[in-house]
Amino acid sequence: MKYLKRIADKQLALKLEAFGAVQIKGPKWCGKTTTAEMQAASVIKMQDPDRREGYLASARTKPSLLLKGETPRLIDEWQVAPVLWDAVRHAVDERRMRGQFILTGSTVIEDKDGEIQHTGTGRISPLSMYPMSLYESLESNGTVSIRQLFDEPDVDIDGLTSNLSVEELIFSACRGGWPASLDTMTDEAKLLIARDYLNVICDEDISRIDGRHRNPSLARLILRTYARNLCSVAKKTSMLSDISIEMEGTAMSTFDDYVDVLERLFVLEDLEAWNPAIRSKTSIRTGKKRCFTDPSIAVAVLGATPQRLELDLNTFGFVFECLCFRDLRVYSQALGGSLSYYRDRTGLEADAVLHLEDGRYALIECKLGSREIEDAAKHLLEIKRLVQEANARNEHSKLREPDLLMVLTGGEMAYTRTDGVKVIPIGCLKD
């Protein structure tokens, strides 16, 4: 399969130029190793079954032996031998050269045995990767750039069109952004990849991550309640009640443990709340918005198919929002930004808030159909008005007004409304 360029390629090259080592982290099968190999001069794969025991013996005895090789040297699944972290950090200090190592891993480890003594700050720079965005999988034509929208607010986007039909968008969400699913195979085979990913996570990885046995059935129940509450601010207590219907006696501590592991495996990634002081009398929702790293996981958990979702666009609306979050996370990272959401108890919301490092931000609503665009635009404009009112009340501590108001849709055409809100098909978007 031909390598499709990733947005992380440029980020990796830049970090190798600036730091001694880079740690690429993200869900398994999202392409971390392949992306790293594109820039690595030598590779060692810690989970190679023919060499694993030898590698582990070297790590226990003299870990520096595993660091010998042309640089940048890729150490894949380094967390198999956590002592390598400090070995890499020490080697970076000793060599005093940049671009020495790339570390990849599909789990966040809990260093209970104290094998990692130092954080790696200033030596090992983290880089997150996600399953492929629509732009990376060549399904978005990239005619609308988020960077350009920020830098050139008056850029003309009117008439730019997406190549994705709603049916194609549904299939893309069900298939997911897994690089392997883009190889030449039948559509039915492509859909199997996300389902197999789910089975591996529940049956193997959830226990293998730290050697503690966990119940695959309970893992599936927790993922199912996440999928049922996809992109909502569901409370843990209500999610636990949902689980208890089928598995009585599940404690909150058990629920938290499973969710923590699923987050460390990069299966779940909730969206944090943005909490600006713009309403003096209305409480802002601060709970996390429940989300997966890729929409295909939610689809697999629900046992849904493209055909079923074509007949249930209400459910697909939540899956579409999850797809938008995945792509926005990829694009925002390329811009040095981050993602959150806004919602208060009156129902006023912005599905996503994209923050840049320099303080600029965009308010974003994700709406599958054109009928919802009007209400979405009203929400965004109302939040902007509230910011302006808050600034008028407090001259000494002003909030920045939103730099961009955007409605992401599953439609075909991009345009700017007379009120300044940008309506953009997800099939046109890129970083």
Residues 380-419: tens digit of each pLDDT:
999 999 999 888 888 777 889 999 999 999 999 999 999 9
Q: What pLDDT is recorded for position 240?
A: 95
Q: What pLDDT is recorded for position 339?
A: 97
Give the confidence band of 347 by pLDDT, cuts at 50, 70, 90: confident
**346, two tokens:** 């009156």
Indicate whether 351 pLDDT > 70.
yes
Indicate whether 115 pLDDT > 70.
no
- In whole angstroms, give the CA distance from residue 1 to residue 365: 35
- What lies within 8 Å, CB to CB, of 417 at 6+ separation is 377, 423
Q: What is the DSSP string of 144-208?
A: EEHHHHHH-TT---TT-B-S--HHHHHHHHHH-S-GGGGSSS-HHHHHHHHHHHHHHIIIIIHHH
The better pLDDT of the pair 109, 163 is held by: 163
Indicate whether 334 pLDDT > 80.
yes
Indicate whether 229 pLDDT > 60.
yes
CB 266 within 8 A of CB 327: no
Q: What pLDDT is recorded for position 114?
A: 58
Q: What pLDDT is recorded for position 280?
A: 54
- In whole angstroms, give the CA distance from residue 96 to residue 108: 27
Q: What is the rounded average pLDDT of the residues 187-209?
A: 96
**257, two tokens:** 């443990």
Give the confidence band of 110 by pLDDT, cuts at 50, 70, 90: low
Average pLDDT value for the chain: 93
400-414 burial code (b ≥16 CB/10 A, e <16): eebbbbbbbbbbbbb
Q: What is the rounded average pLDDT of the residues 370-386?
A: 94
Q: What pLDDT is recorded for position 126?
A: 94
Give the confidence band of 112 by pLDDT, cuts at 50, 70, 90: low
Q: What is the CATH number of domain 8-128?
A: 3.40.50.300
Indicate whether 282 pLDDT > 70.
no
φ/ψ of 371, rounded to 5, equals: -65, -25
The residue extents of the domains of the chain are 8-128, 144-430
Q: What pLDDT is recorded for position 427?
A: 98
Give the confidence band of 107 by pLDDT, cuts at 50, 70, 90: confident
Taking the chain, what is the end-to-end CA distance rounded to the nearest angstrom? Answer: 24
- In whole angstroms, give the CA distance from residue 366 to residue 257: 31
Chain centre distance of CA 74: 23
Question: Of all residues in the chain, what percent carry a pLDDT higher than 90?
Answer: 85
- In whole angstroms, give the CA distance from residue 142 to residue 399: 31
Indicate whether 113 pLDDT > 60.
no
- What lies within 8 Å, CB to CB, of 14 at 6+ separation is none
Span 130-149, pLDDT tens digits: 999 999 999 999 999 999 99
Give the confidence band of 430 by pLDDT, cuts at 50, 70, 90: very high
In this structure, what is the dihedral angle of CA atoms 109, 114, 117, 120, given to the nearest 10 degrees? Answer: 0
What's the pTM? 0.93
Indicate whether 253 pLDDT > 80.
yes
Indicate whether 310 pLDDT > 70.
yes
